[in-house]
Homo-oligomer: A and B are copies of this chain.
Amino acid sequence: MTTPIPVYLDCDPGIDDTLALAYLLAAPNVELVGIGTVSGNTSAAQAARNTLDLLALAGAPAVPVAVGAHDHLDHPYGGGAGWVHGENGIGGVDLPRGAREPDPRTAVQLLIDLSHEYEGRLHVLTIGPLTNIAHALEADPTLPGRVAEVTAMGGAALVPGNITPAAEANVFNDPHAAAALIAADWDVTLVPLDVTMEHTLDEDQRRMLLADERPFVRAVGEVLDHYFDFYVGTYGRRTCALHDPLAAVIAAGAVTPTRAPRVPVVVDVSDGPGRGQTIADLRGQRIGVRDHDGVRTRLVLDVGSSIGQHLVDTILAG
Interface residues of A (CB under 8 A from B): 158-162, 165-166, 197, 233-236, 264, 266, 268-270, 272-274, 277, 279-287
Contacts and interface: CB of A to CB of B under 8 A. Distances in A.
A279 B166 contact: yes
A179 B197 CA distance: 30
24 contacts: A158-B159, A158-B160, A160-B281, A160-B282, A162-B283, A165-B264, A165-B281, A165-B282, A166-B274, A166-B279, A197-B286, A233-B284, A234-B283, A234-B284, A235-B286, A266-B273, A268-B272, A268-B273, A269-B272, A270-B270, A273-B279, A274-B274, A274-B277, A274-B279
A287 B280 CA distance: 26
Contacts of A159: 158
A287 B266 CA distance: 29
Q: Which of A233, A264, A270, A284 has the most CB of B within 10 A?
A: A270
Given A165-B264, A268-B273, A270-B274, 20 more contacts: A158-B158, A158-B159, A158-B160, A160-B282, A160-B285, A165-B279, A165-B280, A166-B279, A197-B286, A233-B284, A234-B286, A235-B286, A235-B287, A236-B287, A266-B273, A268-B272, A268-B274, A269-B272, A270-B272, A272-B274
Q: Which of A165, A269, A270 has the most CB of B within 10 A?
A: A165
Q: Secondary structure at chain A's binding surface: helix, strand, loop or mixed?
A: loop
Task: Give the top 7 A-B pairs by smallest Cβ distance, nearest first.
Answer: A274-B274, A165-B281, A236-B287, A266-B273, A160-B282, A160-B283, A270-B272
A286 B274 CA distance: 21
A111 to B, nearest CB: 28
Nearest to A166: B279
Nearest to A274: B274
Contacts of A283: 160-162, 165, 234
A165 to B, nearest CB: 4
A265 to B, nearest CB: 9
A165 B266 contact: yes
Considering residues A281, A283, A285, which has the most beta carbons from chain B within 10 angstroms of its beta carbon? A283
